[in-house]
């Protein structure tokens, strides 16, 4: 006879137990706490939360209102607008905006450019760059990632540096500020250093290096993006602010979440303007390079001071005020209901 196979289990053998281990966790004997919500707990909590949020909201709103801000739209889409002569003119085009400041802008003063109807949050646009190339990798410099297509190589199959749609669409208007001092326009010093995130400038973006070669030699064999007017290594004469570590470029490469956004362009430090941007006549001299009318966009220049909470943002203070007011109103309603029905509840308990 065929001997019984060891693969078959004796039907008389007991099956292994499926019972969990006898521990407090597996047998669900862990101690638990369940709050008993009563009026004496809920009402003080709502009152405290409401008054706290109202107080914070008042502080935020007051701080936001103390921030001075002025903006100038220079799209030039309609006749009579600032820079209307540059919309259909050949680029670059020069235009001036003369304006007056009636209140002293306490330094430091930040200058932003604002773009509208520009969707940097489109997924295909956002991924159209090569982070490895931007980190200074020599191989990626000569062979950009496929995500950069169709801005990966030019018609002659030469690699584009920096590649991608984000870099190709970089904002490139040049803005200068002049102050009318005794009938003569004097240029105000604009600081372009320190306008980007520290992690971007020091870690995320790096220029490629290859021994003692200059940036021009390292980038030899690559071409500039189609919409750029100069090579990436010529963005600035400052060796610590050119190439992939140019701060204007770094600021642009951080994609905005909304179709209307501001990006920091320059900073006017306190020591350059003797503690504030004084009252008087000013002139913005703009080299108009960046087209926005074709996609029904708009562009502005914004002057703004800052506070401990950052730039002007009344929404945050209003949100705190609304939430705190709602908490307070609900607390008052619950208190009225509690007082009204407390006597009836006591009667039901004792009778």
Return d(Cα 163, Cα 146) in angstroms, integer.
Answer: 10
User: What percent of the chain has a predicted confidence (pLDDT) above 90?
Assistant: 62
Model's pTM, two decimal places? 0.80
CA distances, 154 to each of 79, 158, 224, 233, 289 (Å)? 37, 6, 9, 18, 22
Q: What is the pLDDT of residues 100-137, one digit of tens each?
A: 988 888 778 999 999 999 999 999 999 999 999 999 99
Quick one: average pLDDT of 218-228?
Answer: 93
Return d(Cα 289, Cα 287) in angstroms, integer.
Answer: 6
Which residues are 99's β-sheet partners?
282
Which residues are 174's β-sheet partners?
287
Q: Can you give the pLDDT at residue 272?
A: 53
Quick one: average pLDDT of 321-347?
Answer: 84
């Amino acid at each position: 006879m065929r001997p019984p196979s060891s693969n078959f289990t004796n039907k008389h053998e007991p099956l292994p137990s499926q019972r969990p281990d006898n521990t407090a966790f597996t047998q669900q004997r862990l101690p638990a706490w369940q709050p008993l919500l009563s009026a004496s707990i809920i009402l003080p909590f709502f009152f405290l939360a409401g008054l706290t949020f109202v107080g914070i909201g008042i502080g935020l709103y007051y701080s936001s209102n103390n921030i001075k801000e002025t903006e100038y739209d220079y799209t030039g889409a309609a006749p009579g607008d600032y820079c209307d002569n540059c919309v259909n003119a050949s680029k670059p085009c020069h235009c001036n905006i003369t304006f007056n400041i009636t209140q002293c802008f306490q330094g430091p003063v930040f200058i932003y450019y604002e773009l509208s109807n520009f969707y940097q949050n489109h997924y295909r646009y956002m991924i159209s760059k090569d982070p490895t190339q931007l980190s200074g990798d020599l191989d990626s410099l000569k062979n950009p990632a496929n995500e950069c297509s169709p801005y990966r190589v030019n018609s002659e199959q030469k690699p584009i540096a920096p590649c991608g749609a984000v870099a190709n669409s970089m904002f490139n208007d040049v803005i200068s500020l002049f102050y009318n001092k005794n009938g003569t326009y004097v240029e105000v010093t604009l600081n372009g250093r320190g306008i980007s995130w520290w992690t971007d400038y020091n870690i995320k973006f790096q220029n490629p290096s290859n021994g003692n070669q200059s940036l021009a030699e390292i980038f030899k064999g690559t071409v500039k993006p189609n919409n750029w007017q100069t090579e990436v290594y010529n963005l600035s004469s400052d060796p610590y602010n050119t190439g992939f570590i140019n701060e204007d470029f770094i600021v642009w490469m951080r994609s905005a979440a909304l179709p209307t956004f501001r990006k920091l362009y320059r900073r006017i430090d306190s020591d350059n303007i003797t503690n504030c941007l004084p009252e008087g006549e000013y002139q913005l001299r703009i080299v108009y390079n960046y087209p926005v009318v074709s996609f029904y966009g708009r562009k502005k220049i914004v002057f703004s001071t800052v506070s401990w909470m950052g730039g002007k943002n009344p929404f945050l203070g209003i949100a705190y005020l609304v939430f705190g007011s709602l908490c307070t109103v609900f607390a008052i309603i619950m208190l009225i209901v509690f007082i009204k029905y407390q006597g009836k509840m006591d009667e039901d308990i004792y009778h």
